[in-house]
Amino acid sequence: MTDALSLPALGYGAANLGNLHREITDDQAHEVLEAAWDAGIRYFDTAPHYGIGTSERRLGAFLATKPRDEYVVSTKAGRLLVPNEEYAGELDTAHDFFVPATVRRQWDASADGIRRSLEQSLERMGIDRIDLLYLHDPDRTEDPDRELASGSDGINALKAEGLVRASGVGSMSAATLARAAASGELDVLMVAGRLTLLEQPALTDTIPACEATGTGIVAASVFNSGLLARDNPADNPRYEYGEAPAGILAKAVRIADVCRAHGVPLPAAALQYTLRFAPVRSVVAGSSRPEQIRQNAEWMNLAIPEDLWAELTAEGLTP
């Protein structure tokens, strides 16, 4: 990863600021961000996709009250926001965001599309620069390889001009992440849900490629959509935003039992696990509740005995 950008161990993922799954007010969003700042969090990640611009606007309004050199901010490109000419008062619930669908997403990872996306993000956020720009979900397009190549080139062109400090790709696809890492052309990968205490598909190709090319990793979705967010996974058996399969839930419960035996909250272990891999620079976790933000910060600083990790491996629960 570029020497010009240093990421703290814990960051805030701002999807919830875009009214993900439920509506919050601007004041509530500000309270969440103040809680994050007060807890020492100085890395904030957002995207145009999150609430079709709502997350960026709310985050930008908050960051405008803070010294620019005291925080790191990342956003994403690949989806342009364009007017929704068919808007008839509906909400963006098809994408799980409770905001008016006055604009729509348009895939565009061309050099011009990437540049326009950055310009729009800067305008929505009202700040003068983005530290880290990720290409967002190229695997969800019709031609992932083409979009990955074009989008990566577009972001690196902006980096060469000094408009962003670091370049990256964010994805839930282990195959896409591995190809991005192997290129050696990017600074950071945002690995979403593919390197967690529960599952580690990124270990097969992505981690080795990152180690070979010096590519850093930001781990996201480390709670596996909430399954690892409580001490008893059966209390919230959600996985990939749906009901957890029986085998996945059983494994999560076994991991929780081991954590409990060592006096460690399951969410604390989930937050800290990925930092055990050398390429991982930061973990981003989101919430719409200030108390959860404060709790995440406490869990990230909790001392976890090596015996816990050893037992999880001995039980075949982690590699």
Residue 22 structure tokens: 């439920």
CA distance 23 to 106: 24
Q: Strand, helix or coil at 188?
A: strand
Q: Tell me the CA distances in angstroms from 149 to 65, 78, 152, 163, 179, one per residue in order.
A: 37, 12, 5, 19, 10
CA distance 279 to 296: 21
Please tell me which residue in 43, 50, 71, 239 is annotated as part of the active site. Answer: 50
Residue 314 CB neighbour total at 10 angstroms: 11
Q: Strand, helix or coil at 249?
A: helix
Dihedral sign computed on CA atoms, order 225, 228, 231, 232: positive
Please check whether residue 270 is in contact with residue 10, taking contact to mean a CB–CB distance below 8 angstroms.
no
Residue 43 appears among annotated catalytic residues: no
Q: Strand, helix or coil at 220?
A: strand
Q: Distance between terminal CA atoms of the chain?
A: 25
CA distance 120 to 300: 33
Residues involved in catalysis: 50
